[in-house]
A and B are shown apart, each in its own frame.
Chain A
Amino acid sequence: QKEVEQDPGPLSVPEGAIVSLNCTYSNSAFQYFMWYRQYSRKGPELLMYTYSSGNKEDGRFTAQVDKSSKYISLFIRDSQPSDSATYLCAMSEGNFGNEKLTFGTGTRLTIIP
């Protein structure tokens, strides 16, 4: 069993729709939960991070962590074609700046104009 499971998609939604991306994990020691966006042939770009359980909102993006269920989500409101990319969840046991990151496989998202 992989430590982090993520549906690879692809996921296609019409512009303006709400997008829900999810990951599950098995390591209860994970404390930091991150979402990265990766465009084709580019490196990952940090979108949001949360520490422990709870919600965090940043503009059109909301990250949600449920440690009891070992489940994290990223919601994108009012989706735009520019949101089309691969979204990676990542987790770490300690401060994600200097700790090993464990990534999901990524979900490829396409927003249809």
Chain B
Amino acid sequence: GAVVSQHPSWVICKSGTSVKIECRSLDFQATTMFWYRQFPKQSLMLMATSNEGSKATYEQGVEKDKFLINHASLTLSTLTVTSAHPEDSSFYICSARGRDSYTDTQYFGPGTRLTVL
């Protein structure tokens, strides 16, 4: 149980385009979802936290107008990178937390590798 999926697993796009990444909790309801970014040889950095039905809370230094987060249901959150540029190329990982004692921890998705040309 407690499986989190992400789609796509990897994406290549041209500079200036927008990319949407989906994060789904497959077998539990996720009250909170987290979005992280991981650059090569660096640690995972939290970008934002989202609760179902509420606006996301962004970490300092993360542009909320560039990284749009929607947590429309208890099983789906999306991250849209708008007007992507090469410096946005990174590994984006989501995690999800459920509402019961078994899922009251962060379960991570497999990540999405974004390459912006």
- Taking Cβ atoms with an 8 Å cutoff, the residues of A that contact B are 2, 4, 6, 8, 36, 41-46, 49, 88, 95-98, 100-106
Residues of B within 8 Å of A, CB-based: how many? 25
**Contact B43 A45, beta carbon cutoff 8 Å:** no
**Contact A44 B44, beta carbon cutoff 8 Å:** yes
**Contact A42 B97, beta carbon cutoff 8 Å:** no
**Contact A97 B111, beta carbon cutoff 8 Å:** no
Cα separation A43 to B6 with both chains bound (whole Å) = 10
Across the interface, which residues of A come within 8 angstroms of B59, CB to CB?
Answer: 100
**Contact B41 A105, beta carbon cutoff 8 Å:** yes
Q: Name the prevailing secondary structure of the A interface residues.
A: loop
**Contact A103 B44, beta carbon cutoff 8 Å:** yes
Instruction: Mark each residue of chain B from 69 to 105: 1 if its CB lies under 8 Å from any CB of chain A, else 0.
Output: 0000000000000000000000001010100000011
**Contact B43 A98, beta carbon cutoff 8 Å:** no
**Contact B42 A105, beta carbon cutoff 8 Å:** yes
Cα separation A97 to B18 with both chains bound (whole Å) = 30
Across the interface, which residues of A come within 8 angstroms of B108, CB to CB?
Answer: 36, 43-45
Across the interface, which residues of A come within 8 angstroms of B42, CB to CB?
Answer: 105
Cα separation A98 to B104 with both chains bound (whole Å) = 8
A43-B93, A46-B107 given; 9 more Cβ-contact pairs under 8 Å: A2-B43, A4-B43, A6-B43, A45-B108, A100-B49, A100-B59, A101-B44, A102-B46, A106-B43
Cα separation A44 to B43 with both chains bound (whole Å) = 11
Shortest distance from the beta carbon of A11 to any chain B beta carbon, whole Å: 15
A-B residue pairs, 9 tightest by C-beta: A43-B108, A103-B43, A103-B44, A97-B104, A105-B43, A97-B105, A43-B110, A44-B108, A43-B109
**Contact A41 B111, beta carbon cutoff 8 Å:** yes
Cα separation A88 to B106 with both chains bound (whole Å) = 14
Q: Pull 20 A–B residue pairs with CB atoms less than 8 Å apart, ordered by A.
A: A6-B43, A41-B110, A41-B111, A43-B95, A43-B110, A44-B93, A46-B105, A46-B106, A49-B105, A95-B104, A97-B97, A97-B105, A98-B97, A98-B104, A100-B46, A100-B49, A100-B59, A103-B44, A104-B43, A105-B41
